[in-house]
């Protein structure tokens, strides 16, 4: 007699035969984009659609004395010329504050400026015509009389008593201030063997999405409904805000997001000109299209990272870091952005400085000031690049001061891998990080010792190469702690609905959105794996507030971790429902059955029972043949939000290898490495590509990108010829490795990966440049590291 086979240990819902989890599979539906058959908002045309062009202030700060549109209104194709005053009857102003950012203040902002323009590029009138070209022609015929006012441009003097106050009602130019004092900072500094200080300067830069912001708003007066086609990362947020300020119910507003030509945080906000476009559609009772041109993009897409941060670190001779201290100053433009506010970045800097390290003593001050420049707000990796560059810059300077290798000082100070769960002096809570494992893996990948040898050899030949290391932590999977608690109607939960269609395929609606990260792919991978059907039979629908469950969308590295878990739970529920029906049909129990490759099989031996297609046929068309009392539910919906940890922190470490030409100041990036830990990896290739893309955005900030304003508040390089972005020739190959510490808070275990690359790239490059310049006794703590900055530091110019 043969013994029955031992029952195998039950597999997790992810670890099933033919699972797509952890597999590199191509994203679905790429052909549409590759054949030029996608539908970006800029491609959309509707019957009776008119085009709006905004006339924008040429001054950084000016009183609008008068607007004469008579001539423009007579021009061919012109439908209307609308001023801020006129539009204020249709759309109410807003104030970009959140209650949990105590003291944050801002002034009411209008869709189109009323009486006063506060930055160069603020819209002062809208010209609507039957074609964009006609609207542009007519805009030239509008005469605006301005009375120029003093512009506040330098953040360092914004708070001086002699500096004009931009919004008199606010009393001063201080938008927000936060201080923090944890541990015994003074004692820690006095107990240090060395204290190192530096001023870190960051260039204001922006997202430069290849498709500019674009929007089609379509008010149907008979239906009393507004449909907004917009490339937004957060459709339900747009729905809420549009309804709120147009005096509508949310049910009257539908937001549709089709293909989005790049986003990176640029398209997660509500811009004044977008609000104006919704309002114009309502006012003029027809579809209105707005597509920013490139000059408008530079002048109005949110900028970010305009910070000056004084940093201080205390160090013992044995390499122990005793304390960090920072004083951060940032200028955000004339208004706090809506609805996420412009205080979040500075707040993040305070939260994140020193984050990877065990030192418990930390003091911080951050001040956020108004100025007459374009608005600043959240752009990919919000605050992280600042915090990481300051922290890692200080750590390297400290290592240099005590003559310790930069890797060794990190080994001695990074939070131990077995110390979790634990917290940071700023109050962050870490569930499980892997700094040391990540650093060890990085050392192996880059062959650190060999590079050091090579560096030393080349130095003898007057070739100056440098290695820069940067450890980092990243905020992902935010709970309501980010926005909800501050009163913003920005959902932190996401929902997924899955249903079996009549041919046994799966239709899945998710509230996360797609801008190219792979939201559609990761959702299909999870649904296919958990249910037991091929991915090709899962169709994922996103970006439509009329049809998807309610949810936050895709930002703050949350899509996979939150939307992915909702998909997992919804599919588990659907699977249970299907198996119960199958059991009733087959006169078995649900536990005895499984689904594999789209077929109901015996759980024990995998023997085929019948296809899902057959089950769907019976349920939908011959329910009369089902046993009595069975009411099949071939659709299931689940929502998910993290509750235990406010954020699922991830960690990682980056390294840069580069060469500095000390004659020209040019920096050649030779190689870049990243090891990061985003928990469960759903699709390795997609994660790696998120990391690479993120790194390159950070490299742009490190070397090229800066919005250059003159002292009058004029943006002098608002075009792609003068504002430099990384192109294929400047970028090195990037090796990516992983350590995997899943979050235990969800069954999926995934944390975010979208911003890790951007968080640490500039810090690694800056540290590598200073490493390369070590023989010259020069340190630079300013980005972008242009040839001018390098040569100035070297005393060559």
**Binding-site ranges for another protein (CB under 8 A):** 26-27, 30-31, 33-40, 42-43, 45, 133, 207-212, 259-264, 293-294, 515-518, 685-686, 689, 692-697, 719-721, 725-729, 731, 733-734, 757
Min. distance of Cβ 99 from another protein in angstroms?
A: 34
Looking at the Cβ atoms of 128 and 674, the one nearer to another protein is 674
In terms of CB distance, is 88 or 724 closer to another protein? 724
Q: For residue 672, give the H/E element and its range.
A: strand 667-677
CA distances from 534 to 523, 525, 613 (A): 13, 9, 13
| Phi/psi at 242 (5° precision) | -60, -45
Burial letters 508-523, b for 16+ CB under 10 A, else e: bbbbbbbbbbbbbbbb
Choose between 599 and 761: whose C-beta lies nearer to another protein: 761
Q: Is the CB of residue 235 less than 8 Å from the CB of residue 513?
A: yes
- Residue whose CB is less far from another protein, 584 or 674: 674
For residue 43, the minimal CB distance to another protein (Å) is 4
Q: Per-residue DSSP letters for 586-633?
A: HTS-GGGEEEETTEEEETTT--EEEEHHHHHHHHHH-GGGSPTT----
Parallel/antiparallel/unpaired status of strands 174-182 and 361-369: antiparallel
Question: Smallest distance from the beta carbon of 36 to another protein, in angstroms?
Answer: 2
φ, ψ at 609 (rounded to 5°): -100, -65
Beta strands per DSSP E along 8-122: 50-56, 62-68, 78-83, 116-117
3-state secondary structure of 581: helix
Cis, bond preceding 421 (omega within 30 deg of 0): yes
Shortest Å distance, C-beta 518 to another protein: 8
For the CB of residue 384, give the shortest distance to another protein in the complex, in Å: 17
Report, in Å, the least distance between residue 701 CB and another protein. 13
DSSP code per residue over 509-521: EESS--SSSSHHH
Contact indicator for 362, 182 with CB cutoff of 8 Å: yes
Helix (H) or strand (E) holding 300: helix 294-300
Shortest Å, Cβ 25 to another protein = 10
Grouping H, G, I as helix, E, B as strand and the rest as coil, residue 746 is coil
Minimum distance of another protein from residue 624's CB (angstroms): 45
Nearest CB to another protein, comparing residues 319 and 516: 516
* Least CB distance to another protein at residue 284 (A): 21
Q: Indicate the residue among 414 and 696 with the shorter CB distance to another protein.
A: 696
Closest CA relative to residue 31, chosen from 322, 259, 187, 229: 259
403 vs 729, which CB is nearer to another protein?
A: 729
503 or 719, CB closer to another protein? Answer: 719
Report in angstroms how near the CB of residue 736 gets to another protein at its nearest.
10
With a CB cutoff of 8 Å and minimum separation 6, the contacts of 696 are 726, 731, 734, 757, 761
Q: Which CB, 304 or 695, lies closer to another protein?
A: 695
In the complex with another protein, the residue whose CB is nearer, 112 or 761, is 761
Given a contact cutoff of 8 angstroms between Cβ atoms, the answer to whether 420 and 433 are in contact is yes
Could you say which DSSP state residue 486 is in? G
CA-based torsion, 542, 547, 548, 551: positive or negative = positive
Nearest CA-CA partner of 301 in 754, 715, 782, 731: 715
> Nearer Cβ to another protein, position 93 or 684?
684
Minimum Å gap between C-beta 475 and another protein is: 21
**Beta carbon of residue 752, minimum distance to another protein (angstroms, whole number):** 16
438, 229 Cβ separation under 8 angstroms: no
Going by the DSSP 8-state scheme, the letter that residue 535 receives in this structure is: G
Rg of the chain over CA atoms, in angstroms?
28
- Closest CB to another protein among residues 413, 697: 697
């Amino acid at each position: 007699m043969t013994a029955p086979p031992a029952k195998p240990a039950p597999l997790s819902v992810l670890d099933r035969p033919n699972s797509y989890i952890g597999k590199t599979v191509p994203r679905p539906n790429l052909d549409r984009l590759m054949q030029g058959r996608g539908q970006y908002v800029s491609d959309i045309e509707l019957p009776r659609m008119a085009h709006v062009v905004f006339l924008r202030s040429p001054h950084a700060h000016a009183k609008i004395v008068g607007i004469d549109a008579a001539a423009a209104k007579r021009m061919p194709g012109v439908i209307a010329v609308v001023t801020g005053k006129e539009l204020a009857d249709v759309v109410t102003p807003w104030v970009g504050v959140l209650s949990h950012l105590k003291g944050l203040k801002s002034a009411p902002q209008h869709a189109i400026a009323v009486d006063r323009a506060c930055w160069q590029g603020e819209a002062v009138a809208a010209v609507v015509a039957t074609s964009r070209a006609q609207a542009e022609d007519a805009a030239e015929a509008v005469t605006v009389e301005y009375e120029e006012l003093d512009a506040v441009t330098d953040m360092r003097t914004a708070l001086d008593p002699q500096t004009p106050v931009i919004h008199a009602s606010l009393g001063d130019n201080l938008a927000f201030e936060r201080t923090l004092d944890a541990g015994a900072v003074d004692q820690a500094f006095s107990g240090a063997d060395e204290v190192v200080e530096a001023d870190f300067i960051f260039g204001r830069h922006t997202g430069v999405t290849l498709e500019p912001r674009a929007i089609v708003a379509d008010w149907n007066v008979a239906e009393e409904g507004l449909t907004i086609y917009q490339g937004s990362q957060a459709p339900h947020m747009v729905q809420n805000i549009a309804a709120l300020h147009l005096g509508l119910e949310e049910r009257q507003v539908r937001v549709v997001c089709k293909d989005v030509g790049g986003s990176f945080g640029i398209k997660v906000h509500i811009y004044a000109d977008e609000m104006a476009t919704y309002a114009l559609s309502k006012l003029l009772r027809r579809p209105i299209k707005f597509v920013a041109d490139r000059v408008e993009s530079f002048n109005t897409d949110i900028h970010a990272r305009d910070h000056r941060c004084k940093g201080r670190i205390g160090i013992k001779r044995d390499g122990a870091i005793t304390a960090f201290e920072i004083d951060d100053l940032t200028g955000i433009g004339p208004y706090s952005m809506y609805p996420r506010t412009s205080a979040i970045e500075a707040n993040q800097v305070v939260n994140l400085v020193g984050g990877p390290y065990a030192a418990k003593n930390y003091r911080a001050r951050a001040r956020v000031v108004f100025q007459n420049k374009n608005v600043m707000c959240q752009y990919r990796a919000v605050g992280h690049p600042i915090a990481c560059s300051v922290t890692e810059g200080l750590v390297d300077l400290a290592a240099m001061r005590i003559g310790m290798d930069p890797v060794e000082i990190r080994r001695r100070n990074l939070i131990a891998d077995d110390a979790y769960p634990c917290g940071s002096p700023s109050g962050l809570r870490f569930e499980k990080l892997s700094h040391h494992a990540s650093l060890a893996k990085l050392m192996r990948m880059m062959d650190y010792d060999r590079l050091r040898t090579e560096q030393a050899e080349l130095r003898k030949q007057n070739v100056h190469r440098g290695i820069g290391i940067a450890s980092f932590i990243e905020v992902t999977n935010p709970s309501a702690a980010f926005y909800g608690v501050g009163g913003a109607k920005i959902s932190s939960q996401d929902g997924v609905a899955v249903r079996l269609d009549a041919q046994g395929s799966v239709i899945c609606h998710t509230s996360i959105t797609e801008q190219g990260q792979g939201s559609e792919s990761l959702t299909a991978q999870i649904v296919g794996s958990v249910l037991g059907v091929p991915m090709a039979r899962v169709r994922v629908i996103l970006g439509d507030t009329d049809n998807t469950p309610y949810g936050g969308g895709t930002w703050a590295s949350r899509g996979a971790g939150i939307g992915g878990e909702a998909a997992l739970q919804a599919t588990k529920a659907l699977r249970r429902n299907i198996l119960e029906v199958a059991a009733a049909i087959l006169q078995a129990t649900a536990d005895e059955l499984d689904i594999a490759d789209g077929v109901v099989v015996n759980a024990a031996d995998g023997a085929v029972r019948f296809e899902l297609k057959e089950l769907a046929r019976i349920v939908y068309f011959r329910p009369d043949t089902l046993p009595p009392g069975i009411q099949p539910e071939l659709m299931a919906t689940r929502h998910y939000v993290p509750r235990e940890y406010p954020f699922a922190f991830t960690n990682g470490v980056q390294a840069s290898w580069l060469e500095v030409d000390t004659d020209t100041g040019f920096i050649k990036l030779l190689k870049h490495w990243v090891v990061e830990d985003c928990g469960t990896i759903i699709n390795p290739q997609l994660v790696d590509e998120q990391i690479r893309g993120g790194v390159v955005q950070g490299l742009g900030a490190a070397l090229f990108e800066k919005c250059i304003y003159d002292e009058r508040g004029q943006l002098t390089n608002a075009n792609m010829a003068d504002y430099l972005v990384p192109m294929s020739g400047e970028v090195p190959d990037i090796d990516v490795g992983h350590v995997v510490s899943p979050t235990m808070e969800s069954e999926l275990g995934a944390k975010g990966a979208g911003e890790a690359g951007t968080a640490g790239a500039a810090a690694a490059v800056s540290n590598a440049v200073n490493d390369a310049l070590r023989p010259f006794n020069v340190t630079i703590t300013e980005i972008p590291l242009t040839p001018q900055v390098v040569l100035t530091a070297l005393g060559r110019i």
